[in-house]
Amino acid sequence: MLKPMIILLLLTVFTSAQISSDWQNRLLLAQNYEQAGEYEKAKSILEDLIKIQPDNYQIFQTLNRVYFQLKKYDESINLISKRIETSPQDINLYGLLGSSYYLKGDEKRAFEIWDSALSIQPVTPMNYRIIANAVIERRAFEKAIEILKKGKTFTDQPQIFSYDLANIYALTMQYREAAEEYCDILMSDPNQLKFVESRMLTYVTRPDALEQAISVIERRRDKKNINYAKLLAALHVENKAYEKAFQLYREIDAQAGSQGAELFNFGQKIYNLKEYKTAALVFNEIVSTYPASPFVSTAKLGYAKTMEAALLEELNEVTPNWKPYYLFRPNESDRVETIINAYMELVRIYPRSEVAYESFLRAGKLELYQQHDLDEAEKYFMIIVEESPLSQFAPEANEELGNIYLIKGELDQAKKYSLNVLTNPRILPAKKNSANYNLAKVEFYKKNIPAAKGHLSKIILDLKDNFANDAIEFQLLLNTSMNDSLNILLFSEAEFLSEQKKFSEAASRYQMVSSKQSGLMLQNLAQLREAEMFLAEDDFSNTLSLLSNIADQKEKNIYSDKALYLSGKIYEFGLKDTPKALEIYEKLLAEFPNSLFLDEAREQIIKLRNKQS
C-alpha cells in the first residue's frame, strides 16, 4: 500500500513542477517580447497568465508596464483596482493607480488617489516618499512638492524630505527654495557639507542660481556651525569673489583652531584656479598669523610658487611657444632673480628638507628656461641628486640634468642622468616614458640605432601615454630608413645640432638630406626640419618659401598639411597678418580634410574672427 502512495506523491510533485516551469517560461517569453518592443504579443501572454495566477506580483507588474507602453490606461486602472481590493494596505498600488489616471489625462482623479493613499494607516514618512516618487516619475513636480512639504511637518527627521525637495526645486529653477532645503539639511546634519556643496555646485552655474543661493545662506548662516561658512566660501569662489571667500576662511581657520590648515587648503585651491594674487595673500596670512604653524614652510613655498606662476603666465605671452624650435634668450625681468632668491631663502631656513629640494628644482628650472644659464641650473639640480637621490624631486632633477647635457652636447652625461631617472624607485610612469624617449634620442645621436629602437619600443607598449605618438613616428622613421644608413646618420647629426640650438649648422645638414635620393619619410621630414631651423632664427621669408614648397606637394609629402598649418602660425604670430593667417587656415580645411591639424585650425579661425569683430 505504501509503494502506490509514494508513486502518487512523486507524480503530484512532478506535475506541480511542470506547471511552475510552464508559467515561468511563458513569463520569460512575455518579458522578452516586452524588451523587443512587441507589446501586443507580450500582452496576450500576460493576460492569460494573470488569470491563472492572479496573486503573482511579477506577472501583475509586467502586465501593467505593457499596458503603459500600449497606452491602455483603462485596462491598467482595472488591473490595479482589482489588486487593491485584495491588498488595500499596499501603498505602492496607489502610486501606480494615480499614475494610470495621470497618464490617461485625468489629473484631478490622480491627485485624489495620491492624497487618499497618504491616509492609509499607519502613516509613515516612507509612505509619503513612495507616493512622492510616483508623482515625481510623472513629472508632476508641484504636486510632489506639496506632498513632500506635508511629509516634513509630522516627522522628527524632516531632512529626509529635504533631499528630494532640494532636487525638485533645483530642477524646476526654484533656486532660492532649493538653497533653503540644503540649509535645513546642513542644520540637522553638519556632516553633510560635502554632499550639499557638491549638489549645489551642479546647478549654481545657471542664471540667477548662484546669487540666490548666496543670499539664502548669508541669511540662514549660523556662526556656531562652521560648515555654513565653508559652504558660503565655496559659493564665493564659484562666483569669483575671492576676497570674500578669503575673509570667510580667516574666520573658519580661527574658529576651527587649525593653525593655518584651512587657509592653506584654500590657498592651494585658488592657486590651482590661477588666482595668484589672492593665493599669495593667503600664504602670507598663514606665515604672519601662525608663525609656529606646521604649515609655515609649505605656505612660504606656496608664496614663492605663486610669484613664479604669476610671472610665467606673463612671460608666456611673449615666449614664442608656437615655434617648434626657438632660440633661448635670457629674461630681462628682475622678478626672476627675486623669485630665485625667495627659493634660496627657503633652502636656508629648511635645509635638507623636501621644501628645500623643491626650491632647488624650481630655482634650477628658472635658471635653465628663463635665464638660460646652464651652469647655474646644473648646480641646483646636482644638489638634489647628490644630497637626496630618493627625494620625490630627484627624478625630475635627473631629467633636467639630462636635458642640460644634451644642449651642451655631452651625450654620455645625458645618458647617465636619463638612466638615473629610470632606476629611481620613486619614478612615475609618465617620467619613465619621458626618460626612455630621451634615451632613444641620445642613442640616435650616438648613431646607435638598435638601442634607440629598444627604448622606443618600451614607450609604444603604453599607447595612452603622451609620448606614444612621438615614439611611433620616431620608430617608423628609423625602420623606413634602415637601408639608407648614410642619410639617416647625417639626419642624426642635424637633429643633435638642433638640440644644441645650433640652428644654422643643423639647417645645412637637413638640406643635404632633403636634396639626396633617400627614404620618402626621411626626405620629407628633412625638408620640414630645414624650414623649422630658419623659423627658429626668425627668417620668415626663407621659412615660408620652404613651407610653401612642401605644402604644394600635397599627398606626395606626408608633412604637407603640417607645413601649411605652420605657415598660418607664422602669419598669425610672427608677421601679425591676420587676414593672411585666416586664408592659410581656411586653405588647410579645404585641401586637407583628413588632417590632424583640422581642430586646431578651426580654433584659430574662430579666435581670429572674434578678434576682428
Does 588 fall in a domain?
yes
Percent of the chain having pLDDT more than 70? 96
More confident residue, 123 or 565: 565
Task: Mean pLDDT check: name the lowest of 19-28, 363-372, 467-476, 546-555.
Answer: 19-28
385 neighbors 392 (Cβ within 8 angstroms): no
What pLDDT, on a 0 to 100 scale, did the predictor assign at position 74? 94
**Domain tally for the chain?**
1
pLDDT for the residue 324: 94
Residue 394 clears pLDDT 70, i.e. is over it: yes
Q: Do 553 and 528 touch, CB atoms closer than 8 A?
A: no
Question: Would you say residue 602 lies in a domain?
Answer: yes
Residue 245: inside a domain, yes or no?
A: no
For residues 162-175, give the mean pLDDT: 94
Residue 168 has pLDDT above 90, yes or no: yes
Is residue 274 within 8 A of residue 287, CB to CB? The reply is: no
pLDDT tens for residues 296-327? 999 999 999 999 999 998 888 888 999 999 98
Please give the pLDDT value at position 21. 62
pLDDT-wise least confident of 253-257, 358-362, 426-430: 426-430
Structure confidence at residue 226 (pLDDT):
92
The DSSP result for 205-238, as a single string, is: TSTTHHHHHHHHHHHH--TT-HHHHHHHHHHHHH
181-237 residue pLDDT tens = 999 999 988 899 999 999 999 999 999 999 999 999 999 988 888 999 999 999 999
* Secondary structure letter of residue 556 according to DSSP: G
Quick one: pLDDT at residue 17? Answer: 46
Q: Does residue 428 or residue 173 have the better pLDDT?
A: 173
Residue 540 covered by a domain: yes
Interior/surface letters 20-41, b for 16+ CB within 10 angstroms, e for the rest: eeebeebbeebbebbeeeebeb
DSSP conformation letters of 132-188 = HHHHHHTT-HHHHHHHHHHHHHS-S-THHHHHHHHHHHHHTT-HHHHHHHHHHHHHH
pLDDT above 90: percentage of residues in the chain = 78
Domain at 542, CATH number:
1.25.40.10
Q: Where are the alpha helices (DSSP H) in 446-519?
A: 449-460, 468-480, 485-499, 503-515
Residue 22 · residue 45 · CB < 8 Å = no
Q: Is residue 203 part of a domain?
A: no
For residue 578, tell me if it sits in a domain. yes
- Which position has the higher pLDDT, 481 or 130? 130
- Beta carbons of 59 and 79 less than 8 angstroms apart: no
Q: What share of the chain is helix, strand, coil (3-state, %, to 5)?
A: 75, 0, 25
Structural domain that includes position 581: 491-612
**Is 522 part of any domain?**
yes
**516 pLDDT band (50/70/90 cuts)?**
confident
Q: What angle do CA 422, 426, 430 make, to 5 degrees?
A: 60
Q: Is residue 506 part of a domain?
A: yes
Q: What is the CA 39 to chain-centroid distance, rounded?
A: 42
pLDDT at 319 (0 to 100)? 87
Q: Is 208 exposed, middle or buried (0-12, 13-18, 19+ CB in 10 A)?
A: exposed
CA angle 73, 76, 80 (to 5 degrees): 140
Q: Mean of the per-residue pLDDT values for the chain? A: 91
What value does the mean pLDDT take over residues 540-568? Answer: 95
